[in-house]
Structures are given as C-alpha cells and as structure tokens.
Chains A and B, each alone.
Chain A
C-alpha cells in the first residue's frame, strides 16, 4: 500500500505517447514516485496527497494531450480503471497515514487501555480499506454499465441540447446526492443522539 506510486506513476504517464509530455515522461514519473514515496514513508500526508493529485492531473492532462496531438485514444475501460485506481489509492494512503500517525502515538504503551485502542485501530484500517475497495469497484462497474447503456442509445455528444441537458442532469444529481439524506452536522450537548 505504501509503494503504489511505483506502479501507478509509470502506468499512467508512460501509457501516454511520449510527445504528449514533451518527452519528459520518465522525469515526471521519477518526480511523482519520489514525492509519493517520501510522503508515505516519512508520514507526510500533504506530500502523498500532492503526488496523488499530480497523478489525477497527469491522467486528465494526458487525455487532453492525446486529443490535441490527435494520437490514438486509449481504451475507455482502461482510462476509467486508471482513474478509479488513483482515487482509491489516494484515499487509501490517507487512511494508512492516519493509521500510522495514531499507532505511532501508542508505541511503547503496554497498558490494557492502549492495547484495546491499538486493536480497534487495526480493525478500523482493515475495514476502511476493504470498504473503500468495494465502493471503488462498485463505482467502476456502475460506470461501465452506464457507458454500455449509453452506447446502446447512440446519442451524439455533439448535439448542443443533449450536452446542456447532460450537464444540468449531472449537476442536479450531484447536488441531490450531496444535500439529501444527510444533515451536515447535528449538535447536542452532553448526551448525543445523532
């Protein structure tokens, strides 16, 4: 989990024709890997997040570069897989670094209470990573299914009205998902009932 930049960065950067990144692909890979590994090994969450963010930007920039240089398009499924993989590892590294930080504070404590907290922390990290993996896999599957369904309808993205409706639909759906079902914060005093 700590060394995922070693395969993610080459997979994303070197999968794009080298002229898209002006022949600097290897250097970019090196920078991202060094930043990511330093962040993960030194426990610097900001550095790891920057490296993951850079991978996302490189993925999108690579795709834009392919469009502009009229290079052959990559496989859509692979593109989506790369995208969700980066998101998964970005979140997973955050979980792992949080685990490291909390575990570090408990190092050397052998009392029962600290041991119990350690045990809970171990179960938490395993559960978090498992649930994140399931959600990402589900999101990938759902996206592919939606793409296949979209393919059946054969609607052209060039139609202006369709594009506008698509944008409105996505924005509306996201707003609904973000604001509905959950109150942002519930405050009670002393005894809490959420």
Chain B
C-alpha cells in the first residue's frame, strides 16, 4: 500500500500503512506479556490396559508469571482411532496470573495397539496471532494389550527341564502329583505314601513313588503372516494374538521361562524369562503385532533364534495359520535338533460367499495346501487345529502327546 501510495502520489493510500504498523506495535506491547512462563504436563491413566476400561489424559497447565495470558491454546494430539467422550483435546482458554488449570479428557479404550498420545502443544498468542510462543511436550504411548484368557494349558513334554519345581512331568523320581513307580518301604518314608493294597499283596510295606515335576524353557512363535482372505484375515490374526497371550500367561504362571518371537512384517523378540513383569513385556510386544508378510523366511528365523535363545531340547510353541508351506523345513530342522514342538494352528474361516468361481477355486487350493503342510508337520511334531468358535482351553486339552517317529 505504501508503494502504491508513493507510485500514485496518494498520501491517503500511503497512510493506510499506519493502522497496520500501529496494530503490530500495540499487539507486541499490549497483546502478549514480556515474560511468558508456563509449566505444562500430561499423564495417561492408565498408560497400559487390556482394553476394557476408559482411559483418561490429565493435563496440567500453570502460568508461573504475574501477567494474564488472554489467548492460550492447549492442544493434545490424539490418533484418529480415538474418540473423546468427555472433555476436549483442544482447549482455548485464558490463564490468569499464576493460575493453574487441570484439564481431563476421557475416551473409551481403543482396539489393541500402541497409540501415541501427544505431543501436548501449548500456544500463547496475542489477540491477532501476530506473535506466538509455542512449546511441545513429548508424546506418551498408550498400550492396549491383548487380554490373556484363563486356560488350563497344554500338556507339554519337552526333554529339557529346569532344576526348579513346576508342572511338567520330568520322567524321574521326585515330588509330584503323578504316580511313577513303587518300592519297598524304608525307615523315614512318609507313611502317607504307603500303598496299602500293594503292601497287603506282597506282605511287606511298599510305598508309591511320584514323578518329579519341573519347569522348562518355552519359546512361543507367533506367525503373523495371515495373507489369506481379506474379510477373515483380521479375525484369524486376532485369534493368533489372543492364543499367544494366553499361552505366555499360563506358562509363566506355571513357573516356566517363556520367550516370544513375532514373525511377520513387524518382527519382535522377547528373550525367555520368568515372572509377572516379563508377562507384561510379552503382552506389550503383542500389543504392537500387525498382520503382514515377512521379509525373512519363517523357517530361517525360528531355527536361528531357537538355537540362539533356547537350551537344547526345550519346548517351542508355534502359533501359525500354516498358510505358508515353507515353515515345514524350519520345524523339521528344530525337531531334528531335539526341540519339542507344538503347533497350534487357528483354522481360517470359510468366507460366506465368494465373488467368483476363480476365487472359490483359489480358496480350495489354499486349504488343500494347508492340509498338506499340516500332514507334513504331523510327521515331526504335535499339530492342533483351532477352529473358530471353540475355546482355546478345549483345543489345548486335546493336544496329543505322542512322540512321533521322525523321518527328517
């Protein structure tokens, strides 16, 4: 306008720059205090959940300076999957001198996954937005983990056993609940262990001996490659995740050392360890699991990691829909190395209808290939089908524990 005014030699036009300059000047001196001092924090409560409770984010903003702030924007950035139920993620407010405000926003727990909450951005501006003081706080992660189901657990029989008492039969004498053998009574034996029927038959005292029960090392492998049929994919994958969480939980509760391998587009590894905190670590890993095709072959990954992370002859539980036949080679190698292997295979659910005949043929061929893979695996390890709608406990209680003759 100034240039236009000078070009046209119109002082009225040139003078229109004055209100603009004055506005800048006044906004600078009146619009925003010289010293802006804010303290802002946010906290997610709870920061991890099983997805069955409301999540709240508590935001606190304090004006530590002695001047009022008229235009304060508090913006908590939330992922699009989250819908705020109460409160608001963006709050426009005034802040008095030395005022402290607490803001709370609540939302229903989203589906399983990790969610970045934040960063919390606090902006202080003059009324016209000419001047801005902005600050960001670090984002925090909300983890929605899969809830482990209460299952009884499978009857595992690995050859490798740890020294501590557990629930896995050790094929040796020791304290346990299962009958193992009988022997003659010797002084000092617990009278409760006397087998009165056998003693009467042999005319001297005979005591029962029990099979020792120990803990073992277990590696759970979750095969996340479920590239199958779009509509059924998610259900198949979530069933696998749930099974992995439940197996890890029950095996840890029994005192075993448990590790986890996520094998798929997103890979993750948790080394075998004990305890409740470790269960949390495994569930945290499972929260991030996403379906997708693996870049590295599942066979290669499981054989390499099993040898690196597990003692020889330990237990491996593989949860896989068996849609990739190349897994057979890896499992054969592991079986040949002496590992006990249980394959739990969530069965794909047939689509309600097919778009075309070709699609139906493709589906049937895939299922045929899967059956072949399963047959091949049954030669070297225990394989359990898990159809949709059947509880995991039921499936695991039917695991056959025959020691197959290996033809590797």
Contact = CB atoms under 8 A, between A and B. Distances in A.
A181 B130 CA distance: 12
Interface in A92-120: 98-99, 102, 105-106, 109, 111, 113-114, 116-117, 120
B194 interface: no
Contact of B86 (A102, A109, A124, A185): A109
B18 A123 contact: no
Interface in A65-100: 67, 73-74, 76, 79-80, 83-84, 87, 91, 98-99
Interface string B109-145: 0000000000000101001111111111110000000
Which DSSP category, helix, strand, loop or mixed, fits chain B's interface? mixed
B92 A76 contact: no
Contacts of A111: 86-87
A161 interface: no
**A contact residues, range:** 35 or more
A60 B30 contact: no
A135 B23 contact: yes
Contact of A102 (B15, B92, B129): B92
Given A84-B19, A120-B93, 9 more contacts: A67-B13, A113-B105, A114-B88, A139-B25, A146-B22, A181-B34, A181-B131, A192-B39, A194-B133
Interface string B85-96: 111101111100
A167 B17 CA distance: 11
A132 B91 CA distance: 20
B86 A140 contact: no
B40 interface: yes
Interface in B1-60: 1-6, 8-28, 30-32, 34, 36-41
Contacts of A98: 92
Contacts of A113: 86-87, 103-106
B10 A63 contact: yes
Contacts of A166: 2, 14
A95 to B, nearest CB: 8
B71 interface: yes
Nearest to A63: B13
A127 interface: yes
B70 interface: yes
B128 A67 contact: no
Interface of A: 60, 63-64, 67, 73-74, 76, 79-80, 83-84, 87, 91, 98-99, 102, 105-106, 109, 111, 113-114, 116-117, 120-121, 123-125, 127-128, 131-132, 134-136, 138-140, 142-143, 146-147, 157-158, 163, 166-167, 170, 173-174, 177-178, 181-194
10 contacts: A84-B19, A117-B87, A124-B92, A124-B93, A135-B127, A140-B22, A167-B2, A186-B134, A189-B137, A191-B137
Contacts of B9: 157-158
Interface of B: 1-6, 8-28, 30-32, 34, 36-41, 64, 70-71, 85-88, 90-94, 101, 103-106, 122, 124, 127-138
A194 B38 contact: yes
A140 B22 CA distance: 8
Nearest to B64: A193
Contacts of A140: 19, 22
B8 A131 contact: no
Nearest to A186: B135
B11 A191 contact: no
A69 B130 CA distance: 36
A135 B27 contact: yes
A128 B10 contact: no
